[in-house]
Structure 1
Amino acid sequence: MKGQWVNELAKNGRATGVFKVKEASLKTTRNGKNYIDAAVMDKTGSIACKIWDAAQAELAKWTPGALVEIKGRVDEYNGRLQLVIDTAVSVDASAVDAGDFEDTSPIPFDELKSDFKKLTETISDAELAALVKAVLGDRQVWERFSAWPAAVQYHHACRHGLLEHTVSMLRIAGAIAESTGRVDRDMLLAGCCFHDVGKIYELTGSTPYDYTDAGRLLGHIYLGARLVAEKAAGLKNFPQEKIERVLHMVLAHHGEREFGSPVTPATPEAVALHYIDNVDAKLQAADAAILRDQTPGAWTDYLKILETRLFKGRLES
């Protein structure tokens, strides 16, 4: 029943298929006519769409997360593809495969899970190893941590994205510790495990991804630090300085106060963690942008996370 995929849609072509509503709002043209400005998605990407001369009542079927069977045409507006919809019919979730509408990490989950286990088992500091186990060995925490996205849209915004991001950071951290000898490897690996754990409370776990009330009010940095502190308090005689160093990494990993960190990195491990996080997030964002960009020509659309456009390569003549 799925029909076409987003990445199969082409300019001047027809569109027929079931898609998930990502966002939608009722707007008014200069002539005073109502229209719905929306975006739909599936696991291959998302695309903007317009429903002209739409009535207020029609907006009800365009609730974010709802499924709609669409028929329409594919146009281009400002260099990007968009759907102009002729008809849209609500579809019950039981009639489709939920996996068709949720982007998933390109790395198989079993591989990510195995790699995470192997990498964290290399933490030789018994107290830090116990803390990692206390936090991420908690069944409810792990179920979310292993499935959740790492962000709403900018990087690793997919199922298992948070786990993929963490595994990648653990690899980078190990390499930096080995090559420089200037950081406490175990402390840095623990920081990689914990830095974004608050995302499991900050973000929703299914598409279209969004922020929870707690996420908007408190943010993942505080939520993650609170979780780690609570688990450390449950471990007998966990050293005070060690938990302070761990929490400092979580609190400082955004690097600057203007980006949400209440403190700036003040230990070698916190400095390293900040840059590892930044590098991995931006490289993944660049890779995903080039893979999915629909802008004609050799350059991607402008990417806010990188503050630039990316070169995709010259088109064949």
Structure 2
Amino acid sequence: MSNRRYVSQLGHNEQVQQVFLASDKQLRPNRSGNLYLQLELSDRSGSIATRMWNANESDYKAFENGDYVVVGGATQLFQGNMQLIANSIRKARPDEVDEADFLTLQTEDIDKMARRLAEVLRGITNPALSALAECFLVDEEFMGKFTRAPAGMKNHHAYQGGLLDHVLSLCELALLVAPRYKDLDQDKLLIGAFLHDSAKVDELAYERDISYTDEGQMLGHMVMAMKMIDDKVKEAERLTGDPIDAALVMEIKHLVISHHGEYAYGSAKLPMTLEAVALNLLDNLDAKMASFSQLINDCPNSESNWTQYYPNLDRKLWKGVREE
């Protein structure tokens, strides 16, 4: 059992000497022109902004983004956020790293969720959509990536297995919501929930730290998903010997390219079907619940019933009455 202090447990003015995962490193000048190292350090509980003053090029080159590093320093509250001021950083030896400290979801959690997702998708009754879902489910390379990928860079489900976590949550929501609206097609909503972020398996790189691939940066997951869907439609048609209706394929693609809901949020189209409207709202609900919960859990304001003020949300969040 690890005795580390997780990022979410760190308090003000606490001495730290332990292993973290490094990302987003930059060597920057301060106002006086002296260089300092800026980076993010993380473990499975979250991340903490880190500075190392009076750094130099060799400090910067001593490790890469995605490396495990041993960091010595002290925490401090700065403008409502916890940060770490490091006085030493070096690459960690393999024997110093406990991988479990950096996995939000353990292997057994992921296996259980993957089994449940397959169970839900194999409940689809539309033969064409069932065949399409099956072609994805039996693709071991795709599902291997799908169960490891995060759902985002930072905002929600930003951890290995986060995509599976998010998609399963959406599918469970679809099973709850669809029966309430007689004109809503549950099978279409389920396939949309499954595939809406499917191309994130190739949009993002996630072996250690999370970043965009070149294709992800250039094209984005919604565009990338179009070819992925076309390929699997052809595969399903070959396996079943039956063509899939072109209008149905169009609706599936529309679910993917409209799921962000607004042009300002990157949607290529606004939702134009009942299933697309439902998918956008459920996707937003699940993402918001995950990100707001994370903000509440990660808030360094341990002495208050409230979080700090978040300018991007234009509010504080209520954490509940603290137990004395």
What TM-score range do you get, normalising by the shorter chain?
over 0.9
Q: Which residue of the partner structure matches residue 223 of structure 1?
A: 224
* Structure 2 match to 1:280: 286
Residues 21 and 138 of structure 1: is their aligned pair in 2 closer, same or farther, counting only changes over 3 Å? Answer: same
Tell me, what secondary structure is at the counterpart of 2:176? helix
1:60 CA displacement: 0.8
Deviates more, 1:25-34 or 1:276-285: 25-34
Distance in structure 2 (CA, Å) of the matches to 1:27 and 1:110: 42
Give, as a single letter, the amino acid of the residue that structure 1 aligns with 2:88.
T
Q: Does the Cα contact within 8 Å between 1:34 and 1:54 map onto a contact in 2?
A: yes
Give, in whole Å, the separation in 1 of the partners of 2:181 and 2:16: 54
* SS of aligned partner of 2:211: coil
- How many angstroms does 1:314 deviate by? 3.9
What is residue 313 of structure 1 aligned with on the other side? Answer: 320
Q: Residue 10 of structure 1: CA displacement?
A: 2.0
Amino acid at match of 2:319: K
Aligned-residue offset at 1:303 = 5.2
Q: Would the aligned equivalents of 2:204 and 2:216 in 1 still touch at CA under 8 Å? A: yes
With structure 1 as the length reference, what TM-score do the two structures score?
0.92
Structure 1 residue identity aligned to 2:200: K
Counterparts of 1:39 and 1:200, CA distance in 2: 23
Of residues 28-37 and 121-130 in structure 1, the stretch that sits farther from structure 2 once superposed is 28-37
Q: Provide the residue aligned with 1:187 in structure 2.
A: 188
- Rounded Cα–Cα distance in structure 1 between residues aligned with 2:19 and 2:205: 22
1:39 aligned counterpart, secondary structure = strand
CA distance in 1, matches of 2:107, 2:262: 31
Q: Which moved more, 1:105-114 or 1:200-209?
A: 105-114
The aligned counterpart of 2:179 is: 178
Q: Is the 8 A contact 1:148 1:158 kept in 2?
A: yes
Deviation digits for residues 135-186 of structure 1, max 9, x if unmatched? 2321111001111111111111112111111111111111111112121111
Give the secondary-structure state (helix, strand or coil) at the position aligned to 1:123. coil
- TM-score (ref. length: structure 2): 0.90
Contact kept in structure 2, 1:2 and 1:17, CA below 8 Å:
no
Cα distance, 1:267–1:39 mapped onto 2, change above 3 Å: same
> Could you say if the C-alpha distance between residues 307 and 253 of structure 1 is closer, same or farther in structure 2, counting changes exceeding 3 Å?
farther
Aligned length: 317
State the shift of 1:304 in Å.
Answer: 7.5
Aligned to 1:42: 43
Question: Which runs of 5 or more residues in structure 1 are unaligned?
Answer: none
Given the alignment, which residue of 299, 310, 315 partners 2:306? 299
5+ long unaligned stretches in structure 2: 238-242
Q: What is the Cα deviation at residue 110 of structure 1?
A: 2.7
8 Å Cα contact 2:258-2:269 kept in structure 1: yes
